[in-house]
Amino acid sequence: MPKITVTGDAGLIEICKAYLTLRKLHNPEIESLVEFVIEEEPSPWRADIGHVFWCVDPTGMVSTFEEHGSTFAQNAWEAGNYYQTEAEAEAAAERVRKAYFGAET
């Protein structure tokens, strides 16, 4: 799968290119992933500074990050990709994998 880096004002264009690439390479039902991401409400929970949160990385794996009030953490929280527990993040990762590949992994 191609790796796409999003930077600066070209970010939206790169996201659109990534969407089209994924649609061609993978499950044509990729719209379900887009709908899932758009419909998700941001989690009201936010880790205190110095504590950890979980999120789903671009490979579909879950990872922990320490909250420092960074742009990354803010963006993850606003996108709804910000979880208090590993189990919550794993459930979200499974939904993402299912949307990409159309089956349980």
Cα 78 versus chain centre, distance = 11
| pLDDT of 33 over the 60 cut | no
Q: Would residue 25 count as lying in a domain?
A: yes
Per-residue pLDDT reduced to its tens digit, 47-71 = 999 999 999 987 888 999 999 999 9
Q: Would residue 2 count as lying in a domain?
A: no
- At residue 51, the pLDDT reads 97
Q: Would residue 71 count as lying in a domain?
A: yes
Q: Please give the C-alpha separations between residue 25 and each of 18, 90, 103, in angstroms, as whole numbers.
A: 10, 24, 16
Cβ pair 56, 81 in contact under 8 A:
yes
Q: Would residue 83 count as lying in a domain?
A: yes
Q: Would residue 34 count as lying in a domain?
A: yes
Q: Would residue 20 count as lying in a domain?
A: yes
What's the domain range around 86? 8-101
pTM for the predicted model, two decimal places: 0.55
User: What one-character DSSP code corresponds to residue 9?
Assistant: G
Measured CA angle at 52 (ends 50, 55), to 5 deg: 140
The total of structural domains in the chain comes to: 1
Q: What are phi and psi of 4, to 5 degrees?
A: -120, 125
| pLDDT of 16 over the 60 cut | no
- At residue 86, the pLDDT reads 96
User: What one-character DSSP code corresponds to residue 101?
Assistant: H
Q: Would residue 40 count as lying in a domain?
A: yes
SS3 call for 13: helix
